[in-house]
Amino acid sequence: MSQSLSDEIKQEVDRRRTFAIISHPDAGKTTLTEKLLLFGGAIRLAGSVKARKASRHATSDWMEIEKQRGISVTSSVMQFDYLNHRVNILDTPGHQDFSEDTYRTLTAADSAVMLIDVAKGVEAQTIKLFQVCRKRGIPIFTFINKLDREGKSPFELMEELEQVLGIRSVPMNWPIGMGRELCGVYDRMNSQVELFQGNDHSTIEVRKVDDYNDSIIREMAGDYLTDQLISDLELLDVAGDPFDYEKVQAGELTPIFFGSAVNNFGVQTFLENFLKLAPKPTSRNSTSGPIEPSNEKFSGYVFKIQANMNPAHRDRIAFLRICSGRFERGMAVKHVRNKKEIKLSQPQQFLAQDRDIVETAYPGDIIGLFDPGIFRIGDSLSQGSEVEFDELPTFSPEIFSKVTVKNALKHKQYQKGLDQLTEEGTIQVFYSTGNFDETILGVVGHLQFEVFEHRMKAEYGVDIQLHRMTFQFARWIVDDQIDPSKFRINSTMVKDKKGNYVALFENEYAMRTAIDKNPNSKFLETAP
Ligand code: G4P
């Protein structure tokens, strides 16, 4: 029995791929996700992911977004099968609902797909998300999108990846022309040409060739584009990085694929190569060492908590990444932090369209647990011996507001709301160190302030007022002899919930100056 369970887990782990797409808004993430789901048969209708996104983003009104939250929960994780692989795509909200959750979700992924607009190159949000992936050392695959439009040259983009992100790249395919002249891509690994037929996107043809000097390419693409292709590829062969599997797995080298998501061009080859190269679910660190997915005992951790859309019910959904063993509906597990046994009776799995009750799930899968208020971000659940996974990273807030309660009599409810909402992890709270007793909230995306204000009123009956501050950076200071009065100009000193000193700076210059003037202090981006 034991042998067959371990075989089953191994088999399921081997075929799983759990990844997140990281990009700047408008690079084409929704479009690419939709094409991937179509290949997997998870959705049947082109346009369904798109329509959902439109309803999510058509308005910046929080109340409207609230109405749509049922939708955003289901699209938080999308699962489909393709070529015997089970694929989990984690959604990383990128528009106005960008928040710490977006970063934290990346901890649940085993690899990332970095999507870049060929004309815009590496953009701000991509940089931030990339850095989080980099710190974790997960493999990063790059898809350069919108090849049907004029854009930067492939060499320029490779240079940008290196200069801006500090990562070397290896093109897996190479464009033959671009924009109006786009003729196709040359697949370097499989020596074949994928033809782009501009007038009828559905008939994309793949032709096997000997190499890039094959006369077939010249017949198809003409002299000008072929000469260009040959000189580019000769240069790449000599000066480019060779494909190195180990470096890709270590996140030091990113394979690049060129294509056009909206035309479904290059997407299928990308998916197939990605599934071959991307890692299966990897181990996660715990206080008792790394937990391998093949471990027969079930374990997992909560990386995201989403409040219920219906204010009448305060229940929430806790997103759990399964790290080892086999999950079965109704199983009893240990809630490690509060040392209680709980039954996982109504778990949800997130498919592209519907919420499903999940019967079994395996490492790499994400399940949604009904949460009557018992979970916190980072909580571990395990079967058998207690496993406590490493704390999840926190992220430096970038927008700050002072908060005041309009009715002082509501202070108790306010405190309760503040505690519960900060537990969900999208908002951080700080306290002033000066003469006034001030509470300051820090977030990564401004929508979180609106959410906070709305929920304080709707769920706790507290009217609050937020006063936007001009700070942009927070640094946790480690120093035995700290003198808060040193931080006055364009900055302020506050304390976090645990009493750690945190300096808030208005601009990078103020922060740099403080760092230079205090060589004995450590300035950390996140809590120590
Ligand atoms: P996001 O989720 O990353 O924010 O991007 P999304 O997929 O919504 O795409 C942003 C815009 O880029 C959309 O245009 C989409 O159609 C377009 N797009 C995506 N992939 C490609 C591509 O390969 N080539 C070209 N030319 N455009 C692409 P939109 O005008 O905002 O929406 P729509 O009216 O076209 O739906």
Q: Are 337 and 376 in contact (CB under 8 A)?
A: yes
Q: In this structure, what DSSP letter does residue 162 have?
A: I
Mutation test residue for ligand 1: of 21, 23, 26, the one with most atoms within 8 Å of CB: 26
242 CB contacts (<8 Å, ≥6 apart)? Answer: 170
397: closest CA among 450, 445, 455, 432? Answer: 445
Token pair recorded at residue 172? 């897996």
- Evaluate: CB of 222 within 6 angstroms of ligand 1: no
Q: In this structure, what DSSP letter does residue 108 have?
A: G
**Where do the structural domains in the chain lie, given as residue ranges?**
5-176+240-277, 284-382, 399-524
Q: How far is the CA of 447 from the centre of ligand 1 (A)?
A: 23
Query: What's the half-sphere exposure (Cβ side, CA atoms, 13 Å) at 445?
Result: 20
Q: How far is the CA of 31 from the centre of ligand 1 (A)?
A: 6
Q: How far is the CA of 340 from the centre of ligand 1 (A)?
A: 48
Q: Are 265 and 277 in contact (CB under 8 A)?
A: no
Q: What is the β-pairing status of strands 192-195 and 184-187?
A: antiparallel
pLDDT at position 73 is: 43
- Evaluate: CB of 149 within 6 angstroms of ligand 1: yes
Q: In this structure, what DSSP letter does residue 376 have?
A: -
Does domain 399-524 bear CATH number 3.90.600.10? no
Ligand 1, atom 6, residue with closest C-alpha: 28
- Evaluate: CB of 31 within 6 angstroms of ligand 1: yes
- Evaluate: CB of 79 within 6 angstroms of ligand 1: no
Which element (helix H / strand E) includes 140?
strand 140-145
Q: How far is the CA of 483 from the centre of ligand 1 (A)?
A: 51
Known binding positions: 23-30, 91-95, 145-148
**3-state secondary structure (DSSP) of residue 67:** helix
- Evaluate: CB of 117 within 6 angstroms of ligand 1: no
Strands of 168-171's sheet in order across: 77-82, 85-90, 16-22, 111-117, 140-145, 253-258, 168-171
Match domain 5-176+240-277 to its CATH number in 3.40.50.300, 3.40.50.2300, 3.20.10.10, 3.40.50.720.
3.40.50.300
- pTM more than 0.90: no
CB atoms within 10 A of CB 62: 18
pLDDT at position 310 is: 54
Closest ligand 1 atom, CA of 95? 4
362: closest CA among 333, 329, 326? Answer: 326
- Evaluate: CB of 23 within 6 angstroms of ligand 1: yes
The dihedral formed by the CA atoms of 406, 411, 414 and 418, expressed in degrees to the nearest 10:
120
Give the chain's residues under pLDDT 70: 1-3, 42-75, 94-98, 198-204, 308-315, 349-356, 435-436, 484, 487-488
Q: Are 28 and 117 in contact (CB under 8 A)?
A: yes
Note the pLDDT tens digit of each residue in 26-80.
Answer: 999 989 998 998 888 766 555 555 555 555 443 344 445 544 544 444 457 888 8
Measure the CA–CA gap between 309 and 147, rounded to whole angstroms: 39
Token pair recorded at residue 134? 């980099």
Q: How far is the CA of 146 from the centre of ligand 1 (A)?
A: 8
Angle at 11 between CA 10 and CA 16, to 5 degrees: 95
The dihedral formed by the CA atoms of 92, 95, 99 and 102, expressed in degrees to the nearest 10:
10
We find that the CATH architecture of domain 284-382 is 3-Layer(aba) Sandwich (3.40)
DSSP states along 111-143? EEEEEEETTTBS-HHHHHHHHHHHHHT--EEEE
Token pair recorded at residue 306? 């989403």
5-176+240-277 against 284-382: fold identical: yes
- Evaluate: CB of 28 within 6 angstroms of ligand 1: yes
Q: Are 90 and 366 in contact (CB under 8 A)?
A: yes
132: closest CA among 274, 279, 20, 30? Answer: 20
- Evaluate: CB of 262 within 6 angstroms of ligand 1: yes
Ligand 1, atom 10, residue with closest C-alpha: 26
